[in-house]
Each structure stands twice: as C-alpha cells, then as structure tokens.
Amino acid sequence: MPAERKKLLLRLDPAVHDALARWAADELRSTNAQIEFLLRQALSDAGRLPSAVGRMRPRGRPRKEERDPPAGEDPAP
C-alpha cells in the first residue's frame, strides 16, 4: 500500500501560477502534478532526490486497462 501523500499549502504569485497552469496544460498534467514534476527534477539535478521516492504516474489519462473497474465488477485476473 503506498504511503499517504503529504498536503501542502503553497502561496504563489498569480502570474507564476498562471504560467505553471499553462505549462501543465501543454504537457497534459494538472498544475499540482507539474509542480511535483519540477520539484523532483530539481532535486534530481541537485543530487538530492531520495532513492526511496516512487515513480510519478505517466502524464495524461490512464489507459482503460489501468483504470479502476466500475463498481460491482471484479478486476481482470
């Protein structure tokens, strides 16, 4: 079971937020996912990304076979 994700209140200049939101949309990510992507990249570039950090989910909508089954249906074996 994956660890619970941390919640963080982040105050940003509105222009910075707008630029991040546009960049995220261009890359098919949410603004939150874009911020996490950039933070991970910065940590990695600085040699400070912990080895225990899991992989990010790929960008875009999950493929149909990767989505949760509808309620009442069993997942495929």
| pLDDT-based confidence at residue 10 (cuts at 50, 70, 90) | very high
Contact 50, 18 (CB under 8 A): no
At 21-68, the pLDDT tens digits run 999 999 999 999 999 999 999 999 999 999 988 887 776 777 777 666
At 11-23, the pLDDT tens digits run 999 999 999 999 9
Q: What is the pTM of this model?
A: 0.69
* Angle in degrees, CA 67, 73, 76, rounded to 5: 60
What are the sequence ranges of the domains in the chain? 12-45
Surface-to-core class of residue 42, CB atoms within 10 Å of its CB (0-12 exposed, 13-18 middle, 19+ buried): exposed
